[in-house]
Structure 1
Amino acid sequence: MFAISGTPTAVASESVRFKAACPDCRERFELTAGAIRLAVGASRRTTFYSFTCPECGSAVRKPAGERIVELLTHGGVRTLRLHRSL
């Protein structure tokens, strides 16, 4: 299991889970790598992860710094690379 802002506590990628919380309903829960999407942009402002709260259904989007990007990618979260158009 990973806490999104912490360190890994499991190594098998198929069993990796991430601790997360919803800013709307304040529930805390665990998500699989498949439940999270990571978007990596050209700046800190355009790099984020997102998921749907399993409790209230809210779409949640949170900024992702370098450490979070590293944790999520190593945990098997699918990553979308954003490119600027010319």
Structure 2
Amino acid sequence: MSESPVSGAGEMTVAAAFAGMRSVTPVVFRAGCPDCRGCFELSASALRLAIGATSRTTFYSFTCPDCGAAVRKPAGERIVELLSGGGVRTLRLHPTV
């Protein structure tokens, strides 16, 4: 029998890898509605990020929990980093020819 490339190392199970973790704090994002001026926190699942070819076609959107308005706001480089790193579902827009 041949020896594994990592001598003496056992396989780690998922349970063992997460054994030291007690809980995971969900990521929330602060947002505001331009229609009703409400301020609130949204989970990553309440937001959508669309990344286009230009800054004009890169935005995030959500539904205002206070008034129900569909909100769309521009997303610069830093916002894209924060939202995508925080687990927000991302859609990459392809340019039309």
Q: TM-score normalised to the size of structure 2? A: 0.74
Amino acid at match of 2:75: A
Structure with the larger RCO, 1 or 2 (CA within 8 Å, 6+ apart): 1
Percent of aligned pairs with the same amino acid? 72
Length, aligned pairs only: 74
Distance 1:36 1:19 in 2: 11
Which structure features the higher share of strand residues? 1
Q: Which has the larger radius of gyration?
A: 2
- Structure 1 residue 21: deviation in Å? 0.4
Structure 2 unmatched runs, 5+: 1-23
Amino acid at match of 1:19: R
Q: Which residue of 2 aligns with 1:76?
A: 87
Runs of 4+ aligned residues of structure 1 deviating over 4 Å after TM superposition are: none
Please give the root-mean-square deviation of Cα atoms over the aligned residues, in Å.
Answer: 1.0
Structure 1 unmatched runs, 5+: 1-11
